Structure formats: C-alpha cells, structure tokens
Amino acid sequence: MLFEIRFSPQLHYWFYGYYSGGFTTEMRAGGFRTVVFIGNGLVVALYVVTTAVVAAALWRVRVRIQRLPPGGVTAYLSALLILCKTAGALIYGAVSSRYL
C-alpha cells in the first residue's frame, strides 16, 4: 500500500495487464489513493479502517498482536488510513474509536 500511495496504483496493471478501475479517479490531494489488487481505493480504505479499529480494540483489552506492541500497530494503521485520503473512512474511524 505504501508503494502505491507514493508511486501510483500500478501494481494491478503490472501483474494483470489492465487497470481495475479508472486511473484518474485514484488521484487525490497531490498523490494517489491505493488500489492494491482490489477494485477501488474506497474498498481499500474501508479495509484499513476496519483493521485500525480492530487493532485499537485489541490494544484496549491489552492483547498483543503477534509480538508487536498493540499501540504501535494501531498508530501504523491509523497513519496508513490517513494516507489513503478517503474522508468517509476517516470519519468511520473517528466515530468508531470514540465508542471503544
């Protein structure tokens, strides 16, 4: 995901030979919304917000994720969510973290 955020959503084209969606629809705020073999950047952002909320919930109940600190995993996924540049997913994350 970090590769596609920086360079552009090219992985799907490199592996399969076509774009899964419109390339120009993934441009946001001077960068790109990541697609990563999924049909749309919005779906990827929804996936990231789901994983970030689950990581925050595991952090709250003090469950370690593999051998990684749960606070670090939550911070990483939250930063990745911000880099996805999707306002709806950011709102979902903010609202759901309020209720944890």
For residues 75 and 11, give the distance between their C-alpha atoms in angstroms, rounded to a whole number. Answer: 26
Sorted by where each begins, the domain ranges of the chain are 2-98
Residue 43 backbone dihedrals phi, psi, to 5 degrees: -70, -40
DSSP state of 30: T
Residue 66's contacts (CB-CB under 8 Å, 6 or more residues apart) are none
| pLDDT tens digits along 52-83 | 999 999 999 998 888 888 899 999 999 999 98
| pLDDT tens digits along 1-56 | 888 877 777 777 788 776 666 666 666 777 777 888 887 888 899 999 999 999 99
